[in-house]
Each structure stands twice: as C-alpha cells, then as structure tokens.
Structure 1
Amino acid sequence: MTPAILRSLIARRPSPPAAAPCHILEGNISEHVLAAVERLYTGLGKADIEQVLELFDPEVEIVTPESLPWSTGHYRGLEGAAEYFGNALRYLAETGFVVDEIRVSDEWVAAIGTWNGRFRSSGGEFSVRFVHFWTLRNGRIIKGEGIAETHGIVHAHRMT
C-alpha cells in the first residue's frame, strides 16, 4: 500500500481544496501500520463509523478536547468510540481531514494536518490544524488522542 490516499483526504466537502503532499517522517513505517492509518482516514473521510470501529481494539481509549461541542473528553471501548464519532456527525453536516504529515514510531502514529467542517445548526464553517496520535498494538488502535485548535471550532458552532 502507498500513502497516496493520505494525500487528499477531504470528505463531504462540496469544493475540496487541493491537499498538500503528505510526508511520512521519522522511522520505518510498517505496512500494517500504514494500512491501518489509510483505512482510518478513509473511514473518517466517508463518515463511515463502522469502518473506523473495525480498526479499534475492543478496549480502545479515545481522548479529545472537552471544548469540542460534542465531546465529554474521554471515551472507552467500542461503545465509547461510537458515541464520540456519532455525536460529532450529529453536529457536523460536513467534515474532512487533509493529512500533511505522518510521523511514526514502532507502535504509534501521529497524523498532522487540517480539519475542515461545517455545523448543521449554525452553518458555521471551520478549518483548523490538528494532531492525532494513534497507538497501535497487533495492528489495532488501542488509543487515539486528538489535539486541535478548538477555538475556531467553537466559534463556528456559535455562529448564527
């Protein structure tokens, strides 16, 4: 598998902007780690919660900023992950990620890029930088932690 799919991942955007090339840095990325990351961002890009959950360990831990309008900050297990992503999709009419860089270690991946979205209720749009850390064990994601410029997201949510 190639990282090509990571170069232009924007989902559900009527006019997607051109994505910057994705650079894989630091370390030797194994094929199974790359394949998992590709499937993850493909699933996120299509808002396909089932595809995303297939990549997670049953005891997955998801940590997100509590300032996100749909987030309580900490989720455990497949049910918790489904709750987080389901809540996000209830709030967002459009969402997508442009992954600019992938940084890897033996068991973790950091994806760095831009997150775009539009809220259902307000119509407010955002485009913010993000870093996602994904810890993998035996090809399954056991932990995901997202860091983003939430000020832009909150502002877009509050627009009337």
Structure 2
Amino acid sequence: MANITLGGNPATTVGSLPKTGTKAPDFKLTNTDLADKSLKDYEGSRLVLNIFPSVDTGVCAQSIRTFNEKASNLDNTKVLCISKDLPFAMARFCGAEGLNNVENLSDYKNGKFGETYGVTIKDSAFESLHSRCVVVLDTDGTILHTEQVSEIGNEPNYDAALNALS
C-alpha cells in the first residue's frame, strides 16, 4: 500500500508497485479501437507505462503531452498511457492534441491492471481511479524503474524514467 496525497489530503492505494528487477505482471487493457492488448503484444519493445487518474485533468494531460514529445526521440520504445478513462475519451484527447507517439490503454472493463500493479486508489475523491505512477520495462519485460508520485497533483519525474532506458 502506498500513502499518497490528493491536494494535500491523505489517500492510499491497494498495494505497491512491482519491484525493480522483477518481471512485469501481464495485463489485459483496451486500446482506443476497443481491442484487447496485453504485455505480450509489446514483446521486444522497451515500455514506459505512464499511469494516471484521468486524461481530463491538467496534470494527466500534461504527462501525456510530455511523454509524447520525448517518446519521438526514443529507439524501440513505446509509451503506454494507462487510466480508467473510456477509450473514446482517450482517443478524443490525443486526436485533438495531435499526439501520436503514445498509445492509450484503458482499464475500464474490470480494473484488474490497477489491482495487479497496486495503483488503484482505495479512498479519497479519486477512489477507484489509478494513482499517478511510472513503470519502465526493458525489452524482456523486466522492470527497470518505478515511481509512485506522492502527490497526485504533481507530474512524474520524466528524466528519471527516460534515463532508466539508457
């Protein structure tokens, strides 16, 4: 369980992020075409999992924009933006913003990603949404870096995440 804050008010998650050096747990998420995607679909690529509460908040939107910009310079790396937003909202946002270097995936169907990765918020106004986190994976699915952002209203440490890939 992670102790985080939302606007300075205490909140907790259902668990902790998987440990660095371990294999990432598999997942089944929905892309903006409503197709199922799993970790296996990304074998051989380095991954940045940009996990957040909702694309309709300023900090979450900024994290997508920032990773979209930085991802265009990365070799063999995919940035997966993961939330419980409906795939339609995610597609609308990225389409309106012209963002095409990230892939949006939704955990709206059953929330199992949030449970498995320990990022589902247990309490607060954001109860049942995902906390703000970054998980970086090597080409074989090994976790290279994790960050649980302690205040949901803060952006992740982009440089730390991307430096884990070098």
TM range (shorter): 0.3 to 0.5
- Of Structure 1 and Structure 2, the greater helix share is in 1
Normalised by the length of structure 1, the TM-score is 0.34
Q: Which has the higher contact order (CA 8 A, sep 6+)?
A: 2
Larger strand proportion, structure 1 or 2?
A: 1
| TM-score in terms of structure 2 length | 0.34
